[in-house]
Amino acid sequence: MTTLTKTEDAAAPTGSDSFLSVRDLHVKFSTEDGVVNAVNGLSFDLERGKTLGIVGESGSGKSVTNLTVLGLHNPKSTTVEGDILLDGVNLTHAPESQLESLRGNKMSMIFQDALTALSPYYTVGRQISEPFRKHTGASKKEARDRAIEMLTKVGIPQPTLRVDDYPHQFSGGMRQRAMIAMSLVCNPDLLIADEPTTALDVTVQAQILDLLKDLQQEFGSAIIMITHDLGVVANMADDLLVMYAGRAVERGSVREVLKSPQHPYTWGLLGSMPRLNSSVDEPLMPIPGSPPSLLNPPSGCAFHPRCAFTGDVGGDACVSSRPGLPDGRGSACHLTAEQKQQVFIEKIQPRLG
Ligand code: SF4
């Protein structure tokens, strides 16, 4: 299984055997309004062939983390501290030329919206074959054959004809498949999928997720699946990281986190998900309030302005002191293990069904 074994405050690279090892990552942006602390002390590990789900609301830092792993942040306005080790190479200190040769080759990304990620001016085949030519030195003919092979793998009908189509000639689901073909054309060891199925209907969504699983088995890629949809995570991931306000607040295997979630924010995410077995008039349980400004995050536990359980902790601990995330399975919350279990069983589980 994917290992998530170090504390979020781990200070230095550990020489972990993981394929991807993120250690004490901090990402800050300078804006006209001040400094945005987008990611604060994040650490995780990911092994080859495994999938890590990262969930959280907009602004939780999940997408920024992964753009930083790929080196796609703006170096002029962004400060990155900590270590990102990919197969032993420290990406935080790598020159742009090295990152460029790794992107598309060793690491690749599937974006949420294929229509904007694919260029309307080039054929689908050209957009799949170009990175292959660039990274392997293949001839035009070899690269075109490879594009047809990839379109076949992702289930595009008549690939020898459709390879010459432009993106607007593909349906939404086919464009998403074409983007997956483009991302996997060089057999990347790390694939980052940012809400890869959000824009698709549920049938196509299920097909795309099955396709990703099949391709992962074939290529042995490690996958980071960024999503706000815990259903997608349950289907795809081995392990789960829940992020809030730029920090990890809960982690563990998907089974552990979904079966016995420990953090009030995770309870909120689960409660706000529609369920198939609920009656049509049963209301969802939205998390009150909105995510905090990362220009000036709340003191103590950043979730405290939205949390219904500060009274169970007592005193002002939630407001004055930030809870740490323990090693391995755990959550960053001042409630005791017994309180978490009791609150979950008595107040949350009955509402989740
Ligand atoms: Fe809620 Fe306090 Fe736990 Fe934060 S530390 S999640 S505010 S109970």
Q: Are 85 and 20 in contact (CB under 8 A)?
A: yes
How confident is the model over 35-51, as pLDDT tens digits?
999 999 999 999 999 99
Ligand 1: list residues with CB < 6 Å.
263-264, 301, 303-304, 307, 309-310, 313, 318, 323, 333-335
Question: Nearest residue CA, atom 7 of ligand 1?
Answer: 304
The number of the ligand 1 atom at minimal distance from the alpha carbon of 249 is 6
Res 16 pLDDT > 60: no
Q: Are 50 and 21 in contact (CB under 8 A)?
A: no
Residue 70 lies in a domain: no
Residue 75 lies in a domain: no
Q: Are 251 and 327 in contact (CB under 8 A)?
A: no
Residue 144 lies in a domain: no
337 contact partners, CB below 8 Å, separation of at least 6: 262
CA of 204 to the centre of ligand 1 (A): 38
Res 2 pLDDT > 70: no
How confident is the model over 138-195, as pLDDT tens digits?
999 999 999 999 999 888 999 999 999 999 999 988 998 899 899 889 888 999 998 8
Domain that holds residue 266: 258-352
Q: Output the pTM of the full model.
A: 0.88
The number of the ligand 1 atom at minimal distance from the alpha carbon of 312 is 8
pLDDT mean across residues, the chain: 87
Residue 319 lies in a domain: yes
Bin 273: left if φ > 0, else alpha if -120 < ψ < 50, else beta.
Answer: beta
63 token code pair: 């997408």
45 contact partners, CB below 8 Å, separation of at least 6: 2, 3, 4, 5, 6, 16, 18, 20, 21, 22
Number of folded domains in the chain?
1
Mode of pairing for the β-strands spanning 330-331 and 107-110 = unpaired
Residue 299 lies in a domain: yes
CA of 306 to the centre of ligand 1 (A): 9
Question: Nearest residue CA, atom 5 of ligand 1?
Answer: 333
To test the pocket of ligand 1, the residue of 318, 336, 347 to mutate (highest count of ligand atoms within 8 Å of its CB) is 318
The number of the ligand 1 atom at minimal distance from the alpha carbon of 263 is 6
How many residues are present in the chain?
Answer: 353
Residue 97 lies in a domain: no
Res 210 pLDDT > 90: no
Burial class of residue 324 (count of CB atoms within 10 Å of its CB; 0-12, 13-18, 19+): middle
Res 10 pLDDT > 80: no
Residue 346 lies in a domain: yes
Q: Are 351 and 271 in contact (CB under 8 A)?
A: yes
Mean of pLDDT values over 218-223: 88
Residue 342 lies in a domain: yes
To 10 degrees, the CA torsion angle through 204, 147, 72, 46? 70
Cα 129 to Cα 113: distance, rounded to the nearest angstrom:
20
251 contact partners, CB below 8 Å, separation of at least 6: 4, 44, 239, 240, 241, 242, 257, 325, 329, 330, 331
How confident is the model over 62-83, as pLDDT tens digits?
989 999 999 988 888 899 999 9
How confident is the model over 227-276, as pLDDT tens digits?
888 888 998 999 999 999 999 999 999 999 999 999 999 999 988 876 65
